[in-house]
Amino acid sequence: MSKKNKKQKVKPQVLKGFRDYVPSEQLAREAMLAKIRDSFELMGFLPLQTASLEFAETLLGSHYNEDSLNELFGFKGPDDVDMALRYEFTVSLARFVASNPTLPLPFRRYQYGNVWRVDKPGPGRYREFMQFDIDIVGTQNLLADSEIIAGMVSTMQNLDVKNFKVRFSNRKILNGLMEYASISPEKSSDVMRVVDKLDKQGRDAVILELGAGRIDVSGDKIKGVELENSQISKMEEFLDIASVKDTDALNNVEKLLGSIEISQTGIDELRTILINLENMDVDKSCREIDLTIVRGLGYYTGPVLETTLLDLPEYGSVFSGGRYDNLVDRFLGRSIPAVGSSIGVDRLLAALIALDALKMKRATSQVLVTVMDKERLPDYLKLLRELRAAGIASEIFSGDTKNLTKQIKYGDKVGIPFAVIAGSDEFENGMVTVKNMQAGKEKAKETSDREEWLKAEDIQETIKVDTLIAYIKEKTSA
């Protein structure tokens, strides 16, 4: 073959900021998603799936330009239409609600799927990732906020996370704090951004950054907000109060900010939520008021919520949200109140694997039917059919070799727990041999003597073929 006609190879590579999920990770992710979905459906949330591609105007507003479109995965599509991949679910939810005026409200929905952001990739940070959201749309009733918090707690419990905290505050209290400390609207967002660092950086670092700035651990200069000393003193008053949790914190902040109407409203709302959670019997050890929580300064209008894993604080918040009462304003020119929370699926999955809270498996099959004699293929297929009919996930070895050792190695490599072995003699006598792959692997760690290994209990047993279903069910339920 001439060089000219030589087939050009394509390098097998993944785009920067994207990733593949190997079967073991995807199985773990599917198991986690199923538990989350079950938790939400138990509370009456309904599934919604919106389009992955939206009009650029839908995502960015009518005054978007080429630069803002380039901040998303945006492009010119068919019919000369500007479009982009969704970067979250909330805008699509707003579009859906606005375009369905007969939708019964409140609307309780959950949605999960991939979203895309043109952010700089980094460790654990991807341009394509999955989110799982719950929202209640169309009510200002604080029962909705309480339900979201209860759902966050019950979901984490259903995922077998033992040590977590759902913390919540109210943006209205923080808005009143800005008024109390005489901080201008122009500086408020910068101040709140610094306060949001309290957990990670500590009180001293926050105070320095509210003033002239500080030097971080790497030696870099962190620019300060440059508040006046009197303003910093008032912020310190608040931070001292905020170090206390729940009702004591509310009582103390009421003494400091209660004369400011918006703060008092926020305090009263948190008290109502606490009473609701108490009546719902939401575990006190799993939730608390934390007045330092900020979350998305320009986005939320009331209660704000976040979930942290106490054994893995470096993972940050894994399930967060709050009240946002400006939903659908872009589409209808009026607001519809809403409250919701979102799970960063990939971050939570990594955390659950690190906590050993998810049972990892590599295969969906519980049984591998090996093929020793191709003339008895109808008998092997009958075994396969009966196993599947009994609800036992099974596969037949469909490779090209009839070498039993290689077939067993395949089953072991992909993580199938049991192998069924039978030849002509076994079929004639109505018998099969079942090999417990995991037990064999564990025994192999203890001995290198094959005879001793074969004699070990539970590694392999020869049983009557008509008892195979019961035998596998007993072993897999143990």
Decide if 223 contacts 213 (C-beta within 8 A): yes
Residue 454 confidence (pLDDT): 47
Pairing of strands 394-396, 367-369: parallel
Using the 8-state DSSP alphabet, how is residue 79 labeled? Answer: G
Residue 453 confidence (pLDDT): 46
Bridge partner residues of 114 (DSSP): 130
What phi and psi, each to the nearest 5 degrees, are found at residue 49?
-130, 120
User: Which H or E element spans position 177?
Assistant: helix 171-180
The residue among 197 and 152 whose pLDDT is bigger is 152
Residues 92-137 have pLDDT tens digits of 999 999 999 999 999 999 999 999 999 888 877 899 999 999 999 9
Residue 139 has pLDDT above 80, yes or no: yes
The residue among 248 and 175 whose pLDDT is bigger is 175
Confidence of residue 452 (pLDDT cuts 50, 70, 90): low
Domains observed in the chain: 23-50+86-354 (3.30.930.10), 367-477 (3.40.50.800)
Pairing of strands 431-436, 460-464: antiparallel
Q: Max alpha carbon distance in the chain (Å)?
A: 93
Residue 91 confidence (pLDDT): 94
Distance in angstroms (rounded) separating the CA atoms of residues 337 and 93: 12
Tokens standing for residue 357: 């809270």
Confidence of residue 451 (pLDDT cuts 50, 70, 90): low
Q: Which residues of 330-345 are buried (b: 16+ CB within 10 A; e: fewer)?
A: bbeeeebbbbbbbbbb
Residue 7 confidence (pLDDT): 78
Residue 441 confidence (pLDDT): 62
The amino acid present at 189, given as its one-letter code, is S
Residue 359 confidence (pLDDT): 81
Residue 450 confidence (pLDDT): 47
Decide if 201 contacts 185 (C-beta within 8 A): no
Residue 164 confidence (pLDDT): 97
Distance in angstroms (rounded) separating the CA atoms of residues 300 and 338: 10
Residues 378-395 have pLDDT tens digits of 999 999 999 999 999 999
Residues 317-350 have pLDDT tens digits of 999 999 999 888 889 888 899 999 999 999 999 9
Helices and strands counted in the chain (H then E): 20, 18
Decide if 319 contacts 336 (C-beta within 8 A): no
**pLDDT exceeding 70 applies to what percent of the chain?**
94
Confidence of residue 314 (pLDDT cuts 50, 70, 90): confident
Distance in angstroms (rounded) separating the CA atoms of residues 52 and 31: 23
Residues 398-422 have pLDDT tens digits of 999 989 999 999 999 999 999 999 9
pTM score, whole prediction = 0.89
User: Which H or E element spans position 389?
Assistant: helix 377-389
Sheet-wide strand order for 81-85: 53-55, 81-85, 74-77
Residue 471 confidence (pLDDT): 95
Q: List Cα–Cα distances, 450 to 204, 252, 411, 454, 459, in angstroms.
A: 64, 72, 19, 6, 12
Decide if 206 contacts 198 (C-beta within 8 A): yes
Query: Mean pLDDT over all residues of the chain?
Result: 91
Tokens standing for residue 62: 């009518």
Distance in angstroms (rounded) separating the CA atoms of residues 235 and 241: 10
Which of 200, 209, 215, 212 shows the shortest CA–CA distance to 292?
200
Residues 239-254 have pLDDT tens digits of 988 877 777 889 999 9
Confidence of residue 297 (pLDDT cuts 50, 70, 90): low
